[in-house]
Structure 1
Amino acid sequence: MKLKNKLALTGAATMAALFLGLNASAARMDMVDVSNNNGYMSTAEYTSMRNEFGVKAVTVKISEGGTYKDPYAASNIANVQAAGLYINGYHFARYATKAQAIAEADFAGQTAKAAGLPVGAVLATDVESQEANNQTKATNDRNNAAFMQEIAKFGYRSDIYTSGSWANNKMTIKGKTGWIASYPYVVTGKNWYSTNHAWQWSSTAKFRISYGGFDVSQLNSTYYTADQKSSVKPTDKAAVKANNKEANKHTYKQAGSVKWVKESKTYTLKMAVKLRTGVSTSSSVITILPAGSTVKTNQAIIKGGYRWVRQPRFNGYGYLATGPSSNTLEYVKTGAAHTYYTVKSGDSWWSIAQQNDLSMYTLASKNGKPIYSVIYPGNRLQLN
């Protein structure tokens, strides 16, 4: 590892440098996480991520709550392994009690086994739901511990994924554990979570032959590479360097000079909406506000193609998009029975679902269609 001003490496940082070849010039695209929102991912796509972008590991969504099984988990696991990458999984947690945590762990473990996740892989718990937000730190710690203890019975290693704003606030994340999501304005070489297993630094990374934006993380230990020094080697090191440099440029753009305006309004949510730490779809998610909840706001702004509102909270502010800057597509809206979207050239089920915080399956089912059906510019799709 080469650091400016020849700073000395000590302890765990030295070991991480030896194992991973860290550099201070850019955050690396060591790990990608995928789910049904990314659609079917081929072996060729994962091979490209490996050889051209330096990806070492992939973490696949396995399940959510007590009933949802990611339909792409099995194909993702098989194709990641075929591409020669390390494979892990994650479960999106909905538990609020210890009993629910154990039940979800049993469900996740069984689902992972059926999908082919190998013994010894990490099966992380993704803790960022409204259910967790409603609990005390002590309760979340108890529930997470119960989930992780139960997961071990299936032969999987465990970890906790959460946002930087929740780590050691809504739950305890000890040193040498944890996968933390926090997106900087500009990646300058600072490793925000060097004492944790992994730092997810962008949710908008682009890969050459894959469509859409992806969550990417830098690994700070060997935990997600089977507890061993990675043996994954890219075939095009020049491309890896160039692609990582490019990815670091477009993580999260600094807010412009657009002014906030006062807005004292109460919104009733017609669907679940992500409450974020800033006015960007790349900002960390504080929580997911469920349909039917109310949000009181005090300011609004047009930013990044969306109209955003600010919600005062006990420890600061949360931000959510009420629709595009034109306000022709408000998915947070009172008084309307349904909200619709008009398909444009280049749109797909995946892209429309992503920009409206839906899954492809939810969007397609609302319109009585399978996700493999063709949509055309001018088609009108119901969103809520």
Structure 2
Amino acid sequence: MKLKSKLALTGAATMAALFLGINANAARMDMVDVSNNNGYMSTAEYVSMRNEFGVKTVTVKISEGGTYKDPYAASNIANVQAAGLYINGYHFARYATKAQAIAEANFAGRTAQAAGLPVGAVLATDVESQEANNQSKATNDRNNAAFMQEIQKFGYRADIYTSGSWANNKMTIKGKTGWIAGYPFVPAGKQWYTNNNAWQWSGSAHFRISYGGFDVSQLYNDYYTAGQKSAVKPTNKGAVKANNQAANKHTSKPSASAKWVKETKTYTLKTAVKLRTGASTSSSVVAILPAGTTVKTDQAIIKGGYRWVRQPRFNGYGYLVTGPASNTLEYVKTGTGASHTYYTVKSGDSWWSIAQRNGLSMYTLASQNGKTIYTTIYPGQRLEVR
């Protein structure tokens, strides 16, 4: 798709630019999407996203396939709304046939209702799985249409999320529809996918009081803000400008010719990490390795916005990320002899009190121990605090 700068926008795109106040020097963090991978997200975190980064709306994972329900969907929906942001949802599609698409739409719709997603919100289908990759464009178009038609019966508005390389290749994405992912090295000065609803321009954005990397998107119209001009206003416009510019500078550079390189290293995980069957976030999960696990690797690669390493296993290989490509050691500590500091839980302790005592947020403390703040801790238990 041809890239357009602010000056090149014409017609409806120009109206959208004027409506949203596009800054040609930086892609904006209009929308964030979250899932169980981000753990529990508090109202305070969403308020910070709004006031300091200019986030207008959050799209939360609702479900996947025909059985998986995101355990954080309900709390995310409630906390996003409490922060005064618009709320939407998405379903990770596994369907390969029209019948499966309809069944998944019914499952997603019921799950969204139970989690509290309000009528009128967008419930997008996230189409990037191996199942979809194995189908023809015509079959994917038929399946996506069936899903979206069915999801509207629940009172939700439909859309398709996919990658830029799949849009109009593996499936049709019409103008004024679609939420498209494409990660340039430096997005400043250019707007991608301006004919669509939204452009996901980073998969590793960071927010001040939240742990880990996040997917962020720029909106080109009001589809993801309840079909109306957004009324969400940040309280610190100076911080929004600075934070957006910083995020643009640190976007990871994708490589069309990325190659595996030899890397014989030993890592110790400082937070729980998913071990997958391939070097892709859409690859199946073999296991969730808890914090403290020692991982020996033989190769590494920068791919899809992340730094992946390969772990030889008795029956082949496993793949996991050490962190975003721009921060290669976010999730690990190098060397088996890495220094760890532990705290022994005492009677009366809580996630909050231990975190405060050690200069951490309780979400970071819980995450680096492979837990959530809702996990019960007991006297005598050891927690890693450094």
TM-score (norm 2): 0.73
Q: Which amino acid in the other structure matches residue 288 of structure 1?
A: S
Instruction: Show structure 2 runs of 5+ residues with no match.
Output: 263-273, 287-296, 321-331, 342-359
AA matched with 1:321: W
Aligned residues: 321
Q: Which residue of 1 aligns with 2:299?
A: 307
Q: Tell me which residue corresponds to 1:272.
A: 276
Q: CA 1:142/1:219 → structure 2, altered by over 3 Å: closer, same or farther?
A: same
2:85 is matched with which residue? 85
**Are 2:271 and 1:288 equivalent residues in the alignment?**
no
1:153 & 1:29 partners in 2: Cα distance?
31
Aligned-pair CA distance for 1:221: 1.1
Deviation at 1:274, TM superposition (A): 4.7
Root-mean-square deviation (Å): 3.7
Report what 1:321 is aligned to. 308
Percent identity at matched positions? 71
Q: 1:61·1:73 contact (CA, 8 Å) conserved in 2?
A: yes
Separation (CA, whole Å) in 1 of partners of 2:177 and 2:187: 22
Shift in CA distance, 150/184, structure 1 to aligned 2, threshold 3 Å: same
1:23 Cα deviation after fit: 1.3
Q: How far apart are residue 133 of structure 1 and its match? A: 0.9
Answer whether contact 1:130 1:289 (CA < 8 A) is retained.
Answer: no
Residue matched to 2:348: none
Whichever residue aligns with residue 103 of structure 1, its letter is: A
Q: CA deviation at 1:13?
A: 1.3
**What secondary structure sits across from 1:7 in the alignment?**
helix
Aligned to 1:178: 178
Q: Does the alignment pair 1:210 with 2:210?
A: yes
The structure-2 alpha-carbon separation of the partners of 1:375 and 1:91, relative to structure 1 and needing over 3 Å to count, comes to farther
Give the whole-Å Cα distance in 1 for the aligned partners of 2:49 and 2:317. 43
Partner SS state of residue 283, structure 2: strand
Cα displacement string for residues 194-230 of structure 1 (whole angstroms, at most 9, x for unaligned residues): 1110010111111111111111000011100011111
User: Aligned runs of 1:181-196 on 2, under 5 Å?
Assistant: 181-196=181-196
1:237 alignment counterpart: 237
Q: Take 2:285 and 2:319, find their aligned partners in 1: how far apart are those partners?
A: 17
Question: Which residue is equivalent to 2:352?
Answer: none
Distance 1:26 1:5 in 2: 11
Residue 96 (structure 2) pairs with residue 96 (structure 1): yes
Which residue does 1:150 correspond to in 2?
150
The DSSP-based 3-state class of the residue aligned with 2:47 is: helix
CA distance in 2 between partners of 1:171 and 1:130 (Å):
14
Q: TM-score, normalised by structure 1?
A: 0.73
Aligned residue for 2:107, secondary structure, equals: helix
SS at match of 2:206: strand
Q: Compute the displacement of 1:350 (Å).
A: 4.4
User: 1: CA distance between counterparts of 2:46 and 2:237?
Assistant: 16
Aligned-partner Cα distance in 2 for 1:238–1:337? 47
Pairwise mapping of residues 129-168 of structure 1 onto structure 2 (< 5 A)?
129-168=129-168
1:5 is displaced (CA, Å) by 10
**Shift in CA distance, 274/190, structure 1 to aligned 2, threshold 3 Å:** farther
| Paired AA for residue 143 in structure 1 | N
In 2, are the aligned partners of 1:306 and 1:321 still within 8 Å (CA)? no
Q: Which deviates further from its counterpart, 118-127 or 341-350?
A: 341-350
Distance change in 2, residues 1:166/1:333 (3 Å): farther
Matched residues in 2 for 1:338 and 1:173: separation? 34
2:122/2:156 contact within 8 Å kept: yes
Q: Measure how far apart 1:186 and its partner are.
A: 1.5
Determine the structure 2 residue equivalent to 1:10: 10
Question: Contact 2:90–2:124 (CA<8 Å) still a contact in 1?
Answer: yes
Contact 2:179–2:196 (CA under 8 A) maintained in structure 1: yes
Contact preservation (8 Å) 1:275, 1:289 = no
Note the C-alpha offset of 1:310.
10
